């Protein structure tokens, strides 16, 4: 009787439908609730990214670090990818961009009891607006010298000041605001809210360093896997699991 030896890779494909392609080292930062080493599944951005790579056949090892360091080391080819990041022409010189897989809404938050509305930035000139030191906001906003901008150390500090009435408005990512209120300022639940329109909508990407020879291929594989996640409802389910509303 002849014996048949099945390669391990064949058995894996037969059982899972996925071809094992290898291991990836990926860099990121702590940016709750998008990404965070202490969050469930390390944040919904991580959950989306790792599932897409899994579908493409890769096992992912995530390293957390300051984002400037993550970009620097990925540029040098020390990491296979880095996420999440906005698009910029400068970055595109060194990286291949994936399809955008998430987005960040930068908004103005106010007290719900306040009647503040606006159509243009000029409408905001009477108000004290909290911003975080060294954060880059939309160019028009940063250059608006007629606005009363008050700098502080963090989004959490600004939320607390807003709740106490020390500020009229703050600039903050919408999901970050929801997450901070839910986890650190429960006393402000239902008392603060975003106002329309958003200051900016930033698409978020996975970046693959051009210094590595397989980056174009990895980007294509990620994009194909991410599209399948959109079609089968996985992305929607991951977002629903956060309990946050865009």
Asked, for residue 3, whether it belongs to a domain, the answer is no
Q: pLDDT of 170-216, one tens digit each?
A: 999 999 999 999 999 999 999 999 999 999 999 999 999 999 999 99
Task: Measure the CA dihedral 61/64/67/70, to 10°.
Answer: -40
pLDDT of residue 13: 41
**CATH number of the domain bearing residue 149:** 3.40.190.10
Q: Mean per-residue pLDDT for 219-240? A: 97
235 and 120 share one domain = no
pLDDT of residue 44: 97
| Alpha-helix runs per DSSP H in the chain | 8-16, 44-55, 67-75, 89-92, 139-142, 155-164, 174-183, 215-231, 234-242
pLDDT of residue 245: 80
pLDDT of residue 20: 55
pLDDT of residue 6: 40
Q: Please give the DSSP secondary-structure letter assigned to residue 30.
A: -
Q: Mean per-residue pLDDT for 7-18? A: 43
Number of separate domains in the chain: 2
pLDDT of residue 19: 57
Asked, for residue 217, whether it belongs to a domain, the answer is yes
Residue 80 belongs to domain spanning: 8-102+203-242
Q: How far apart are CA 209 and CA 96, in angstroms?
A: 6
Collect contacts of 131-136 with beta carbons under 8 A, ≥24 apart: 131/158, 131/170, 131/171, 132/158, 132/171, 135/171
Between strands 22-28 and 81-85, the pairing is parallel
pLDDT of residue 16: 42
- 99: phi then psi, degrees, rounded to nearest 5: -60, 155
Whether the pLDDT of residue 10 is over 50: the answer is no
Whether the pLDDT of residue 14 is over 60: the answer is no
């Amino acid at each position: 009787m002849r014996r048949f030896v099945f390669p391990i890779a064949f058995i894996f494909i037969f059982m899972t439908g996925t071809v094992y392609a290898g291991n990836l080292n990926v860099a990121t930062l702590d940016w709750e609730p998008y990404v965070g080493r202490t969050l469930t599944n390390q944040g919904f951005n991580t959950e989306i990214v790792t599932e897409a790579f899994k579908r493409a056949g890769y096992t992912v090892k995530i390293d957390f670090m300051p984002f400037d360091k993550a970009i620097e080391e990925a540029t040098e080819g020390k990491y296979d990818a880095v996420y999440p990041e906005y698009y910029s022409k400068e970055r595109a010189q060194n990286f291949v961009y994936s399809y955008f897989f998430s987005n960040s809404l930068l908004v103005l938050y106010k007290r719900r009891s306040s009647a503040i509305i606006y159509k243009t930035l000029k409408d905001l000139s009477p108000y004290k607006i909290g911003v975080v030191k060294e954060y880059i906001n939309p160019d028009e906003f940063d250059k608006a010298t007629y606005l009363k901008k008050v700098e502080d150390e963090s989004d959490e500090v600004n939320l607390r000041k807003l709740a106490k009435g020390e500020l009229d408005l703050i600039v903050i990512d919408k999901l970050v605001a929801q997450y901070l209120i839910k986890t650190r300022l429960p006393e402000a639940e239902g008392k603060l809210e975003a106002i329309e329109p958003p200051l900016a909508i930033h698409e978020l990407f996975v970046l693959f360093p051009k210094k590595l020879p397989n980056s174009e291929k990895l980007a294509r594989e990620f994009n194909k896997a991410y599209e399948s996640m959109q079609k089968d409802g996985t992305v929607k389910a991951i977002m629903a699991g956060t309990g946050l509303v865009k």
